[in-house]
Structure 1
Amino acid sequence: MMIEKHISALLYRYQCVTIPGFGAFLAETTSAQLDNDTHTFYPPKKRISFNANLKNNDGLLGNHIALQEKISYNEAITAIANTVNHWYSELQDTQTLTLKNLGTITSNAEGNFVFAPDTPINYLTDAFGLSSFTSPTIKREEYIAIAEALEEKAPIVLTPTRKRNYSYLKYAAVFAVALTIGGAGFKWYHDDKIATETLLVQQEAQAEVQQKIQQATFFIDNPFAVTLPVKEEVVAVLPYFVVAGAYRNPENADTAVAQLKARGYAEARTIAKNKFGLHPVIYGNYASSNEALQALYTIRENDNREAWLLIKE
């Protein structure tokens, strides 16, 4: 089974895709860049890296393969294990493993994996349709030198002209200045009038509000039954969830939540049913990926090795 295509599909949505028993591919978003040497602009993208120390199964790749290939989860895990064994054999024989749309993994003299990314596609969905382009340099100094040379070579020709009477321009200029000053004065008068009228309206409205406040203060029928509006609390969105499992039956999900709370996970609860009709049960949710990953590793080590990370965008 070619699991590279499933890894590529998951990298569009997730920052970490773990291959159980082999390692994990990480996606880091980078901003747009400019190469000053080649004058090439590159759009923002996800930079792919590899970490051979993250080998624990988080269930993400197995569940995705099971859904896409229409097989069971155990069959998907078995297929992943067979592929990983094949990768290890290829690295041992040729010292090189090439994964399509991901990159090349080589084994150095110390037996460590060295990853060289080769991603012709951009996994950042926000940059869809953007491509790199090269802009030619603007040679301002060369153009200025050419213009100055042309000015030096151009001859200056003096031709006699008949003196004309331009006295009428003098009166036209005086009329234009007067017209400009008059227009400015009218605009100032008009703006001042509007500002004064607006102030009067605001003062009348303020007086009416004060009168209503006094009436409300001295003519309340039941002074002890005043209802004050309560401002709703704004809850921050925490997009990272550590999932214990997903259940088709809501009662089974509630049972799992009760068991987690009995083991000390006070924030355990169910979240909204996903598009596959399953009810996820979570240990808790977090605001940053670092907090979520730290909690995930602790839960895998102490409670559940099959826990996995869910990111809601």
Structure 2
Amino acid sequence: MKIEQYISQLLYRYQCVTVPGFGAFLTEIQSAKLDENTNSFYPPKKLVSFNPYIKNNDGLLANHLSKEEKINYEVAISVIQTEVENWRKSIHEFGQLTFKNIGGFSLNSENNLVFVPAEQVNYLKESFGLSTFVSPTVKREESKHEEYKEIVEELEEKAPIVFTPEKRRNYSFLKYAAIVLLSVGVSGAIGYKVYQNYEQEIAQQTLLVEQNVQKKVNQKIQEATFFIESPLPSVTLTIPSEKMPYHVVAGAFSIESNADNLVERLLKLGYNAKRIAPNKFGLNPVLYGSYSSYSEAYKAMKEIQQADNPKAWLLIEEF
């Protein structure tokens, strides 16, 4: 039985999928990004990595395999162990191992396991339907004002005014130079005055248009009458309760009184303990508590194992 497909299914829903005795597949969300060199846009995605040091059984994969294959939980654990042994043999014999839609394993020069994730699958459900695309380069035309400004600057650079004095002591050229400068100054003043008057005229016309528009808007508002003949009934919103599918199990009992006694003891110790409905084997499970995230439940399980019950284990199921 190949369990890679079940690992792939769980990667869409969880951040960590542990294979007992082999390692854990971890996911991390990467934001959308833009490659300015190629004008390529990449949607957000889940990056998959592998940690060979997380090998303890958290019950996630075995419970999922048990439900999908309709087999006993203990049988599912045995199937996973057998598959892990086959993986290790394949890696040592051929030097590599590939999981479809997940990635490949190989051994480096130091005989350590190296994982390379598959790029064709995006495990982020929110990015479903999004793909990488390339945008053509956007060319922006400069305004006429900028073009004229550049032309003027080029003319000024090419035709500077240079005064070269003659060797003879003849200062008559100063008289003509003064006349030229005076003419330029008068022309500039007249041009600026004309431009200023034109600008003021445009501003006045704009103001008149805005006033007329506002006057008509106010008139329409005064003439309008708003009423509702049949008001809609009030809507009552029901906020769904937070799902808590992760549970730390204290034990399961065939006798209900034993389960009730354990619940009473755990409540006295301060745990949010409770007894849930009997499972398909007729046993009455007792929980230390339920949690909304896997990391929170796993942390609580470790604390409980050290403080009260070394055999406490994790159950993943929505009631």
TM-score when scaled to structure 2?
0.60
Stretch deviating more after TM superposition (277-286 or 105-114) = 277-286
Tell me, yes or no, if structure 1 residue 268 matches structure 2 residue 299.
no
> Equivalents in 1 of 2:267, 2:261: separation in Å?
10
> Equivalents in 2 of 1:26, 1:20: separation in Å?
14
Q: Secondary structure at the match of 2:91?
A: helix
- Alpha-carbon contact 2:248-2:287 (below 8 Å) kept: yes
Matching residue within 304, 308, 314 for 1:308: 314
Q: Secondary structure at the match of 2:101?
A: coil
Who is 1:2 aligned against?
2
- Aligned pair in 2 of structure 1 residues 286, 72: CA closer, same or farther (>3 Å)? closer
- Alpha-carbon contact 2:301-2:312 (below 8 Å) kept: no
> Equivalents in 1 of 2:28, 2:284: separation in Å?
30
> Equivalents in 2 of 1:99, 1:55: separation in Å?
18
Shift of 1:46: 1.5
Who is 2:302 aligned against?
297
Q: Secondary structure at the match of 1:76?
A: helix
Who is 2:53 aligned against?
53
Q: Secondary structure at the match of 1:75?
A: helix
Unaligned 5+ residue runs, structure 1?
A: 153-173, 195-233
> Equivalents in 2 of 1:9, 1:189: separation in Å?
63
- Alpha-carbon contact 2:107-2:114 (below 8 Å) kept: yes
Stretch deviating more after TM superposition (45-54 or 180-189) = 180-189
Who is 2:176 aligned against?
none
Tell me, yes or no, if structure 1 residue 243 matches structure 2 residue 248.
yes
Tell me, yes or no, if structure 1 residue 135 matches structure 2 residue 141.
no
> Equivalents in 1 of 2:135, 2:248: separation in Å?
48
Who is 1:284 aligned against?
289
> Equivalents in 2 of 1:253, 1:190: separation in Å?
78
The one-letter amino acid paired with 1:46 is K
> Equivalents in 2 of 1:279, 1:33: separation in Å?
50
Who is 2:24 aligned against?
24
How many residue pairs get aligned? The number is: 245
- Aligned pair in 2 of structure 1 residues 255, 176: CA closer, same or farther (>3 Å)? closer
Shift of 1:49: 1.1
> Equivalents in 1 of 2:268, 2:95: separation in Å?
46
The two structures, once aligned, show a CA RMSD in angstroms of: 4.6
Who is 1:202 aligned against?
none
Q: Secondary structure at the match of 2:67?
A: helix
Who is 2:126 aligned against?
126
The one-letter amino acid paired with 1:292 is A
Stretch deviating more after TM superposition (301-310 or 69-78) = 301-310
- Alpha-carbon contact 2:256-2:284 (below 8 Å) kept: no
- Cα deviation, 1:217-242, whole Å, max 9, x if unaligned, reads xxxxxxxxxxxxxxxxx999475733
- Alpha-carbon contact 2:59-2:316 (below 8 Å) kept: no
Who is 1:13 aligned against?
13
Who is 2:179 aligned against?
none
The one-letter amino acid paired with 1:297 is K
The one-letter amino acid paired with 2:298 is L
Matches within 5 A, 1:34-49: 34-49=34-49
The one-letter amino acid paired with 1:35 is D
Unaligned 5+ residue runs, structure 2?
A: 152-203, 224-238
Who is 2:99 aligned against?
99
> Equivalents in 1 of 2:293, 2:48: separation in Å?
20
> Equivalents in 2 of 1:282, 1:189: separation in Å?
70
- Aligned pair in 2 of structure 1 residues 273, 100: CA closer, same or farther (>3 Å)? farther
Q: Secondary structure at the match of 2:17?
A: strand
- Cα deviation, 1:246-303, whole Å, max 9, x if unaligned, reads 97989489548627717946122256999xx998754234566544332233445663
Stretch deviating more after TM superposition (115-124 or 254-263) = 254-263
- Aligned pair in 2 of structure 1 residues 16, 175: CA closer, same or farther (>3 Å)? closer
- Alpha-carbon contact 1:299-1:305 (below 8 Å) kept: no
Who is 1:62 aligned against?
62
- Alpha-carbon contact 1:296-1:309 (below 8 Å) kept: no
- Cα deviation, 1:168-208, whole Å, max 9, x if unaligned, reads xxxxxx999878746645766897x89xxxxxxxxxxxxxx
Stretch deviating more after TM superposition (39-48 or 251-260) = 251-260
Q: Secondary structure at the match of 2:65?
A: helix
The one-letter amino acid paired with 1:294 is K
- Aligned pair in 2 of structure 1 residues 98, 184: CA closer, same or farther (>3 Å)? closer
- Cα deviation, 1:22-52, whole Å, max 9, x if unaligned, reads 0111122222222222222121221111111
Who is 1:212 aligned against?
none
> Equivalents in 1 of 2:48, 2:75: separation in Å?
28
The one-letter amino acid paired with 2:314 is W
> Equivalents in 2 of 1:310, 1:102: separation in Å?
23
